[in-house]
Amino acid sequence: MNELNDTNQGKHTPLTELGEFGLIEHLTKGLKNRHASTVKGVGDDAAVLDYQDKMVLVSTDLLVEGVHFDLTYMPLKHLGYKAAAVNISDMVAMNGVAKQITVSIAVSSRFTLEAIEELYAGIKLACERYQVDLVGGDTTSSVSGLFISITVIGEGEKERIVYRNGAKENDLLCVTGDLGAAYLGLLVLEREKQAFKANPNMQPELEGYDYVLERQLKPEPRTDIIDLFRKNNLLPTSMIDISDGPASEILHICRQSEVGCNLYEEKIPIDQTVFHLALDFHIDPTTCALSGGEDYEILFTISQKDFELVNNMPGISVIGHITDQNSGVNLITRSGASVPITAQGWDALLRKEKEK
């Protein structure tokens, strides 16, 4: 994660030296628009995008300091990268491709120009990696804290947009990658924060936690999946990305599709390091995988006829199947018991952990 290191060494220019327009100009200097569709980016009342026979996708996220992120362990560059990445992930969740984003931030006077530059550096890095144009935004002051609002605009082909509400009985439930790592990364960071509070001379012990920390601090949207689906001529029946946690996302799909689901515990993809680390934290690995969020993997359903196709794709697990609505949404445990899945997002989980 060296590319996300602090590149401003100790400079502290107050934002007031630039003024609002100066700051915007400074931050957007050197931005290049990549798409022919970006007729006009930063610098006017609105961005102008030229689409023909395409679907335009728009999604937006508001991130609040102290609610969505903690700057004591989230470096600003990572925060910027993640803020852009999770929005790009929303486009993936529609089987679409992110093309442009707008970024609005409100910052209190405790932030320096360099701090905001770091934030933007992370955003720009994600934009570069995922070929997204930053086309506008707003920069303003807050009374306290940092607020980031990102809107992403993407496109998709009319026949290939996938919604949450298309799952049908007997469809198979699939997920990309593995689950639970991002949440454990957060727990590791929280633990070190508490240890640091107790003894400020202590050095953080983060060695050996690379995987879970990277999953928490620098999630990568699964844009590769969209390409894979297209190459294989596969069209899922429903799709959603995992932000709140698979349990919550499965419930979204089932509710909107008016179906039920059986999810098999033994099929849930959990990395070995995640499995053992969860036990270190005295958390059931399955609970961690299902209720821990922020993995930004893609949960989707496919028609049974496409099973062979998906089975041959690397890094995709079939974890359950869709049932009728009356059967409910259930986890089938290793011992064969059927347990209703509840909407316990990672916020709730974290709260429970803190109460211990």
Nearer to a copy of itself, 193 or 267 (CB): 193
Angle in degrees, CA 288, 256, 54, rounded to 5: 105
- For the bound state, the minimum distance from the C-beta of residue 61 to a copy of itself, rounded and expressed in Å, comes to 5
- For the bound state, the minimum distance from the C-beta of residue 257 to a copy of itself, rounded and expressed in Å, comes to 12
- For the bound state, the minimum distance from the C-beta of residue 48 to a copy of itself, rounded and expressed in Å, comes to 5
Nearer to a copy of itself, 45 or 308 (CB): 45
- For the bound state, the minimum distance from the C-beta of residue 347 to a copy of itself, rounded and expressed in Å, comes to 9
Nearest by Cα to 107 from 242, 224, 14: 14
Nearer to a copy of itself, 152 or 302 (CB): 152
Angle in degrees, CA 98, 82, 120, rounded to 5: 85
Contact of 132 with 86, CB cutoff 8 Å: no
Nearer to a copy of itself, 56 or 270 (CB): 56
> What b/e readout covers 267-276, taking b as 16+ CB neighbours within 10 angstroms?
ebbbbebbbe
Element (H, E) at 298: strand 298-302
69 has which bridge partners?
A: 65
- For residues 216 and 197, what is the distance between their CA atoms, to the nearest angstrom? 21
Beta carbons within 8 Å of 315's beta carbon, 6+ residues apart? 176, 177
- For the bound state, the minimum distance from the C-beta of residue 248 to a copy of itself, rounded and expressed in Å, comes to 9
- For residues 140 and 97, what is the distance between their CA atoms, to the nearest angstrom? 29
Binding site for a copy of itself (CB under 8 A): 39-40, 43-62, 64-68, 90-91, 93-94, 96, 100, 102, 104-106, 135-138, 140-145, 147, 149, 151-154, 156, 158, 161, 163-165, 240-241, 256
Q: Is the sign of the CA dihedral 303, 308, 314, 316 positive or negative?
A: positive
Nearer to a copy of itself, 22 or 208 (CB): 22
């059986």: which residue's tokens?
Answer: 262
- For the bound state, the minimum distance from the C-beta of residue 320 to a copy of itself, rounded and expressed in Å, comes to 21
Nearer to a copy of itself, 156 or 320 (CB): 156
- For the bound state, the minimum distance from the C-beta of residue 38 to a copy of itself, rounded and expressed in Å, comes to 11
Nearer to a copy of itself, 135 or 186 (CB): 135
